Amino acid sequence: MRRSLFLVSILSAALALPLMFLGCGSDSSTAPEDNGTSPRPYIKDGKPGYVYRFAGIIDAGGHGIGAGGPEGLPPEETALYWPQDVAFDPAGMVYILDWNNHRVLDLDSDGTINILIGGRFGDAPDGIADQIGLNHPTGLTFDPDGYLILSAWHNSILKRMDMDSGEIWTICGIDSEVSNRNYNGDDQLASGAYLDLPVNVACDSRGNLIIGDQGNMLIRMIDKNNVIHDICGHPPIVVDLTPENVNAYAQWCQTPDIVKNTLKI
């Protein structure tokens, strides 16, 4: 009987823990959707129900050490800083979202961890994935066509990456000089819609992208026609953003007896 594997990534305000595997079931271990014919350098054999360190550095006391560090190292020598998410591509290879290092890592066929996206703090323009900046990305998934979808949390945008060319581009969210955290309605093309801290993204069985739009208190969906819809939650009131109302809004947000997030700029 094949043993299932679950990936556990732990985000703690007090301690950055390494990425671990939690094995469940019995004897042999394979990756999700693995047919057992291709080697997976991240698979560990061991006792069912035990946790094994896959990536990250621990100290003499067995505690995870949150840190930045170079790429090109084996997983157990690669420093992580609050790993936030993991994903498998259609071939079963693993990708790690290293939240506080502002990067996405992949495991190469030679068994080393390397930077796939980001690696430095900053804006997230379109371009070559490992040359852009990120600001605390939080979610990873793959769509049915094999593109990697990334929710760039503090950038308030959703990115799509071509795994063959290495190019990455924004598919939802707007980079504004005043504020990229906003809401401007639904039932429009995703490329023209604002997001406010998209915390995660998933792909349903029909290929729709489901987004946790955290700051807007909404669950949203981008359909196959690239139209965005609000599917759960009460949408904020839409307010035209002008330089004149920015200060007034900021002052309004600091009023303790007013419920926040009912008005967006």
For residue 75, being part of any structural domain is answered with no
Domain count, the chain: 1
Category of 130 on φ-ψ map: left (φ > 0), alpha (ψ -120 to 50) or beta: alpha
Least confident of 24-38, 76-90, 196-210: 24-38
For residue 70, being part of any structural domain is answered with no
| 166-175 average pLDDT score | 94
Question: What integer pLDDT is reported at residue 235 of this predicted model?
Answer: 85
Q: Is the pLDDT of residue 31 over 70?
A: no
CATH number, domain at 147? 2.120.10.30
Q: Is the pLDDT of residue 22 over 80?
A: no
For residue 60, being part of any structural domain is answered with no
CA 37 to chain centre: 29
For residue 52, being part of any structural domain is answered with no
CB 199 within 8 A of CB 138: yes
In angstroms, the CA 80 to CA 11 distance is 11
Q: How many helices (H) and strands (E) does the chain have?
A: 1, 21
In angstroms, the CA 81 to CA 222 distance is 30
Mean pLDDT of the residues in the chain: 77
Task: List alpha helices for the chain, DSSP H.
Answer: 243-253
Which residues form the domain of 232?
A: 82-253
For residue 54, being part of any structural domain is answered with no
| 14-39 average pLDDT score | 38
In angstroms, the CA 234 to CA 217 distance is 7
- Contacts for 159 with CB less than 8 Å, ≥ 6 apart: 117, 124, 149, 150, 152, 168, 169, 170, 171
Q: Which letter does DSSP use for residue 22 in this model?
A: E
| Residues facing residue 6 across a β-bridge | 22
For residue 44, being part of any structural domain is answered with no
**Confidence bin at 155 (pLDDT 50/70/90):** very high
Name the residue among 187, 194, 240 with its Cα closest to residue 213: 194
For residue 237, being part of any structural domain is answered with yes
CB 228 within 8 A of CB 222: yes
| 192-202 average pLDDT score | 95
For the stretch 37-83, pLDDT in tens is 444 445 555 566 666 667 777 766 666 778 888 889 988 889 999 99
For residue 144, being part of any structural domain is answered with yes
Task: List alpha helices for 187-254, DSSP H.
Answer: 243-253
The order of strands in the sheet holding 103-107 is 83-88, 94-98, 103-107, 113-118
